[in-house]
Amino acid sequence: MTGWVQGEVREIRRWTERLFSLRIDAEVEPFRAGQYNRLRLWIDGEWVARPYSYVNAPDVRPLEFYLVTVPGGPLTNRLVQLNPGDCVELMPRASGLFTLDHVPEARDLWLVSTGTGLGPFLSILRSQACWQRFEQVRLVHGVRHATDLNYRDTLLELAREHAGRFRYLPIVSREETPDALQGRITEALVDGRLERAAGREIAAESTQVMLCGNPEMVRDSQALLRARGLERCRRGHAGQITVENYW
């Protein structure tokens, strides 16, 4: 299949002034949890397209994406204005290697995200493979403000469904929040707070780590993990770190 397909916005959920989720009906090919599609709109005389990770599990419809409006960003400032019934175009086929298919076997899986980098992990956490392959799963979500901790109901439901095997670890950098760590992900990795809260240690022998979102977090977390003996997964080399940078 080539070209673009027409999608229709079914719902737009505005979580905060900048964060929103789009639910879209579109005929697209099957995808793997963790992959992304592209959304495009005709803006000021040209097509503008950007990649967005699927939030919905592969077998669930409508398609769902979790976005942030970037100041001055051409596409996000238009996407946030969409209403149910509006059209947006997508690629027929998903892309990306940020899936469990590319993560080697291990006892524990850590999913570490900032901001809308949470998106692909929601899809992964809703896939069966995640729970068939890993004994313990930890989801770290770093944000600036407590109001940016969205999809809480989904995460609490997952925690109930997988009681004893899953912990959700929110971390808020700019304010103190009950039930969340304070600071940056990298700080909490260095001083051991993240692992204490997780009730689990990150170790090359037992842990696979997926990192998604802000490239600075991805780079710095990777450096810290590498100093502890974990290595980047590469084609033909089974390491422990798999990454997706959003910009």
Ligand X SMILES: Cc1cc2nc3c(=O)[nH]c(=O)nc-3n(C[C@H](O)[C@H](O)[C@H](O)COP(=O)(O)OP(=O)(O)OC[C@H]3O[C@@H](n4cnc5c(N)ncnc54)[C@H](O)[C@@H]3O)c2cc1C
To ligand X, the closest distance from the beta carbon of 99 in angstroms equals 12
**CB of 31 or CB of 36, closer to ligand X:** 36
> Cα separation of 178 and 219, whole Å?
28
Cis peptide before 62 (omega within 30 of 0): yes
Q: Give, as ranges, the residues between 178 and 207 that touch ligand X (CB under 6 A).
A: none
Among 194, 199, 214, residue whose Cα is nearest residue 148: 214
Q: Is there binding between residue 36 and ligand X (CB under 6 A)? A: yes
Q: Is there binding between residue 44 and ligand X (CB under 6 A)? A: no
To ligand X, the closest distance from the beta carbon of 38 in angstroms equals 8
**CB of 70 or CB of 192, closer to ligand X:** 70
Applying CB under 6 A, among 65, 110, 134, 151 the residue interacting with ligand X is 65
Q: What is the pairing mode between strands 108-114 and 207-213?
A: parallel
Residue with tokens 């313990």, as numbered in its chain:
136
**CB of 31 or CB of 52, closer to ligand X:** 52
Residue of closest CB approach to ligand X: 73
Applying CB under 6 A, among 63, 67, 124, 194 the residue interacting with ligand X is 67
**CB of 98 or CB of 168, closer to ligand X:** 98
How would you class 192 by CB atoms within 10 Å of its CB: exposed for 0-12, middle for 13-18, buried for 19 or more?
exposed
Strand partners, 39: 50, 90
**Candidate segments 44-52, 83-91, 134-142, 225-233, binder of ligand X by CB under 6 A:** 44-52
Q: Give, as ranges, the residues between 73 and 132 that touch ligand X (CB under 6 A).
A: 73-76, 96, 115-116, 119
Q: Are 20 and 14 in contact (CB under 8 A)?
A: yes
Q: Is there binding between residue 142 and ligand X (CB under 6 A)? A: no
| Three-state secondary structure call for residue 74 | coil
Size, binding site for ligand X by CB under 6 A: 21
**CB of 52 or CB of 134, closer to ligand X:** 52
Across the beta sheet with 63-68, the strand order is 46-53, 36-43, 87-90, 5-14, 19-25, 63-68
Applying CB under 6 A, among 9, 23, 33, 53 the residue interacting with ligand X is 53
To ligand X, the closest distance from the beta carbon of 242 in angstroms equals 13
> Cα separation of 195 and 189, whole Å?
7
> Cα separation of 126 and 121, whole Å?
8
Among 93, 36, 97, residue whose Cα is nearest residue 64: 36
To ligand X, the closest distance from the beta carbon of 118 in angstroms equals 9
To ligand X, the closest distance from the beta carbon of 77 in angstroms equals 6
| Three-state secondary structure call for residue 57 | coil
Enumerate binding residues for ligand X (CB under 6 A). Answer: 36, 50-53, 65-68, 70, 73-76, 96, 115-116, 119, 244, 246-247
